[in-house]
Amino acid sequence: MSVSRYYFKILMIVLLGFTASCKPVYYENDIKEIDFLDTPRYALIPEQLDSCPIGIDDIISFGDYLFATVKDPSSQLRIYDVNNDCLIASIGSRGRANNEFISPQFVGDQVYIRDDELYLPVIDNMTILKEINVTESIKQSEAVVPFRTFCIGPAEGRISLLDNDITKTFVFVKPLLLNEKATQPLYLIKEEGLDAVRIPAFKDVIEGDNRVNVLAQYLGGLKKHPQRNVIVQPMQNMDYILFFDVDSMRYYAVHQLGSRTFEDKVIENINYSPSSYCFGDGAVSKDFFLVNYCARVIANPDDEVKTEILMFDWEGNFIKGFTANVAMHRITYNESNQTLYGCDLSNEKLYKVSLKDYL
């Protein structure tokens, strides 16, 4: 081989390597392609509950209880007995004292037992993380808040509590606009007294014709396994669910086969509409999680199907799907009675339906 041909081959190898290294990396982890849309659905027939508080915002169910946040300054948290479907406590008056609240919001679906007492964490006034002792609050007919700290607020991101500890959090930081350019979101593990640890997820920013639309692709709430440090993030505007197994350091995603990907440029009115959502609220159990799938319901407002719910295991495998002829914008699952609870925010109605025959 001549010297010139030798150096030419070396040059080509270097150029190919440089080109490969310059290729954008939109998502750093593995992606599993699955089909969760083109599968049969089971029709659920929810039963409407007699009582639903006016101004209801959100619901969580655990053990014997159903919790609801409401827009009532005298008592912003209602506690119901799921065995009798009756109200047993109204707590959380509006104010700035430790046992008062400005605007309480649940932390995913997290409720847990510690030292034989039940605790419910909430984020109050956007930045204060409070841990309510439910057991004592019911006894005393007022909120008992033994622990509080500061946290990132819903406007800046989302959190999940690792090991059911308010000083140890998994944090999703929403993307920002800096100098007219969008930044990618951050995923962090933060523990009091230690430096934050970044979890790999998004490296390069998704391309698009509108910076606001680009930012919207990264949005999504967090749901945590009831016992393990596994967090899922169903994406609000894309057919992805991100998985973060913190204990084993396994991070990956599942994606609907054939739908828009992180590599596709976001072009409004061609492959993306800001008015349509993919995933909405979710619910958890130790064996599976449920998530509202909104895209087809929004696209077909006159259809009799008002809710579509998908069930996945914690490894990202699709199990089955459900539909209902009533709207359930918020959902929660009670593992004790194998019942799904749903809330129609528009008409302020509460529903329940047993999933026992589907498990």
What average pLDDT does this structure show over 186-213?
Answer: 93
What was the pLDDT predicted at 14? 46
Share of the chain above pLDDT 90, in %: 84
Q: Does 190 fall in a domain?
A: yes
What was the pLDDT predicted at 188? 97
What average pLDDT does this structure show over 130-134?
Answer: 98
pLDDT tens digit sequence for 3-30:
455 545 555 554 455 444 578 999 999 9
> Could you give the CA distance from residue 90 to residue 137 in angstroms, rounded to a whole number?
9
Q: Does 2 fall in a domain?
A: no
The answer to whether residue 334 scores a pLDDT higher than 60 is: yes
Number of domains in the chain: 1
Its pTM stands at 0.92
Range of the domain at 30: 24-358
pLDDT tens digit sequence for 81-113:
999 999 999 999 999 999 999 999 999 999 999
pLDDT tens digit sequence for 317-327:
999 999 999 99
Using 50, 70 and 90 to split pLDDT, how confident is the model at 274? confident
Residue 263's CATH number: 2.120.10.30
Q: Does 19 fall in a domain?
A: no
Q: Does 18 fall in a domain?
A: no
Q: Does 39 fall in a domain?
A: yes
Q: Does 284 fall in a domain?
A: yes
Q: Does 11 fall in a domain?
A: no
Q: Does 10 fall in a domain?
A: no
